[in-house]
Chains A and B, each alone.
Chain A
Amino acid sequence: MRTLTSATLAFLTAAGLFAASEKPAHAQEIVLSGPLKGAPPVIKLRLYREGRFEIAPMAAFTLLDEYQHSYLFGARLTYYFTDWLGAGFWGGVGVNTDTDLTSQIDQVAPRDTLTATNVAPCVPTNSKSAASSTCPGGAHPSFTDQTAKMTWAVFAQLTAVPFRGKLALFQALFVDTEAYVFAGGGVVGVDERANCGSSGDKFASCTDPASFSLSSQIKGAPTFGLGLTFFMNDIVNLGVEYRAIPFSWNRGGFDSRGLGPNNNFPDGRINGDDETFKFNQVIGISVGVMLGSRKISQ
């Protein structure tokens, strides 16, 4: 009992010391009385989203590209059940261009037995390098032709809009601004180097020029990200968002795995073993059009 009393007193003493060390709350942060007591932090809030449908054409591009830059053109379609929660789709078709690395490999990579399964045999006709083309009269397939390309993507996603406010620019321009996050899943269309194998397999040899062609594949992937929406008026908004689409694919069309410890060595075949994980990142810019009438909160 005595021990309990001592412990209680010690606790109270410590609590008192702790409480004494705390600063008192600022009076301005506590509204004890007055017309705003009990009022919500925001009244007559413009509810841009509740019960409305948004069509947002968008353009997006990928970050940290290895062999191909991907540009996606499409739209985001979302229905908002409340002002902070919606569900919809995001999708687009892709256009791809070579990175500088792809151009460099195309021009300077040696075409010999060491690279025979990994680099398409033809050197582009505009090559300035000493590498000679083994493709008489032509320049294909070149390395560009074997690199994987993101061709389309469709995702179902939930969008939450937890933060909203206004942006004052130079004290002159005020724009209602919302920050949102989203997550979902979907499929990505990828043109990836087709499976090939050594002789005896059902696929063509990976040194065969025909094996450097691409085949269309569909990859499942999650997606998530965040963005900002700037409302120009009740109907039109501008948006910018960051999106992650992580999945595994064989971007270079290389035979890099399938043999040895942990499958870390080339096995002379191109197949699913050669796909490596990539945290694909996309920046998108959109112009949203809100359909339906805007409401105002209490």
Chain B
Amino acid sequence: MKQAHWLLFAAALALVPSTAFAQKGKKPKGGGTTTTAPAGGAAGGGEIDLDQPQAGQQPQQPDQGAQQPQQPTGATPAAGGGEGGICEIDPTACPKMENIAEAAKKKYKQDIYAVQQIYVLRYHRVELTPYWGFTLNDQFVSHSGPGLNANFYITNVFAIGLNGNFYSGLNSDSDFNFQTRRATRVAVPLNEYSWSAALNFTYVPVYGKFAGFGSFIFSYDLYATGGVGAISTRPIPVIDPDNRKFDFDPKVCFNLGIGLRVFVTRWLAITAEIRDYIYPEKLEKLTIANGPIGNPNDPNSPSNPKTWLEDGVDITNNFQANVGLSFFLPFSFEYRLPK
């Protein structure tokens, strides 16, 4: 049993990953001795590590390995990449040791370009955005509900996709409607939604980055989107609820919107958008037919569905704010050019 514990412990240690850093240079070969940033500069003709102490703070006696690059022998350590490197092919091109103090005096370009590499590439990736929508402009009935947006980026800034909203059972008739009806005997025709779906095109003209609290940087983009689809709506009977009962009816629906994505990682973003759904709405008729109740075939009967709706349609704008998370698939991508 005790042995099993030790085996488990060993297995745990073996599973602890050791992360390799890309900037960690190869140890030079041939010198036999590891270079340890001598006072004369970086050994091996490799990188100059400006983080090492200044020349005056270096040990006065550089080690053997540091001397080796100056020896014109075949024992030159790996300048330019190891044995038989650039030093043997073209000695003039062989990197020379630099004094660290001199290197430190070099003037480095301090400009940091606004966009060195775009933080997130969207090209040929799928974006899935589950979100929650809120009504912005309907003070009578709020049409909140979940939605899903799926885009495929044909280019890095242009996408085609689908989105859908689910409202059924989540429409909320404002208390203010009731107060108005009770106080003034005036009813406002109300409508509720069941679902909507649309084919959309998305364009990303704006992107950039923000510094947060002066301590971290995050990337964002702004996009415009638009499309066409359908929305299923129906009137809520408030004028004559005893006789009128409406079914959901899909209508053609256009949408236009703008959105903001704040990237948390290269595959996850917080998304907020405002979208206007524009569609022709049928409203409940404000007057009640004055014929006998009960005969749906009587053109003057309140029971006849043909007397329930206003003539014509009202072009309705449903401004909706959506807040959600965007997942980009695949999770990783490769830049075409190195950094």
Q: Taking the nearest CB of chain B, how far is it from the CB of A158, in angstroms?
A: 16
With A33-B51, A43-B110, A64-B137 known to touch, is A19 a contact of B16 (CB < 8 Å)?
yes
The answer to whether A24 and B137 have CB atoms under 8 Å apart is: no
Verify B210–A179 contact, CB threshold 8 A: yes
**Are B137 and A9 neighbours in the complex by a CB distance under 8 Å?**
no
Contact (Cβ within 8 A) B112 A43: yes
In Å, the complex CA distance between A248 and B72 comes to 88
Q: Tell whether B89 is near chain A: CB-to-CB under 8 Å.
A: no
For B182, give its contact among A6, A9, A256 (CB under 8 Å): A256
Query: B208 at interface (Cβ–Cβ under 8 A)?
Result: yes
Q: Convert A17-38 into 0s and 1s, putting 1 for each residue whose CB lies closer than 8 angstroms to a CB of B.
A: 1011010110110101111010
Take A44-B110, A110-B185, A119-B183 as given contacts and tell me if A37 and B214 are in contact as well, using a CB distance cutoff of 8 Å.
no
Contact indicator B211/A168 (Cβ below 8 Å): no
- Whether A13 contacts B8 by the Cβ 8 Å rule is yes
Q: Does chain B have a CB within 8 A of A216?
A: no
A191 within 8 A of B: no
B139 in complex: contacting residue of A17, A34, A64, CB < 8 Å: A64
Q: Identify which of B5, B17, B20, B136 contacts A64 (C-beta below 8 A).
A: B136
Residue B313 CB within 8 A of the other chain = no
Interface size on A, residues (CB 8 A): 62
Within B46-100, the residues touching A (CB, 8 Å) are: 47, 49-51
For B, the interface residue count at a CB cutoff of 8 angstroms equals 55
Contact call B23/A32, Cβ cutoff below 8 A: yes
In the bound complex, residues from chain B placing their C-beta under 8 Å from that of A44 are 110
Given contacts A41-B214, A41-B217, contact A27 B23 (CB under 8 A): yes
Q: Which of B205-264 contact A (CB under 8 A)?
A: 205-217, 220, 222
Is A259's CB within 8 Å of the partner chain B? Answer: no
CB-defined interface of B36-53 with A at 8 Å, one 1/0 digit per residue?
000000000001011100
Query: Which B residue sits closest to A83, measured CB to CB?
Result: B214
Give bound CA distance, A249 to B13, whole Å.
67
Produce 1/0 per residue, B1-37, CB < 8 A to A.
0000100110111111101111110000000000000
Q: CB within 8 Å of A: which of B174-196?
A: 175-176, 179-180, 182-186, 188
Whether A61 sits at the interface, judged by CB under 8 Å, is: no
Contact string against A for B residues 163-174, beta-carbon threshold 8 Å, 1 for contact and 0 otherwise: 000000000000
- Cα-based distance from A43 to B112 in the complex (angstroms): 9
Give the CA-CA distance A171 to B12 in the complex, in Å.
50
Residues A15 and B12 in contact, CB atoms below 8 Å apart: yes
Some 6 contacts from A to B, beta carbons below 8 A apart, are A37-B51, A45-B211, A105-B186, A163-B210, A163-B213, A254-B183
Interface residues of B (CB under 8 A from A): 5, 8-9, 11-17, 19-24, 47, 49-51, 108, 110, 112, 114-115, 136-139, 175-176, 179-180, 182-186, 188, 205-217, 220, 222, 339
Nearest first, the 7 A-B pairs at minimum CB distance are A27-B22, A165-B210, A16-B15, A16-B12, A118-B183, A12-B12, A254-B183
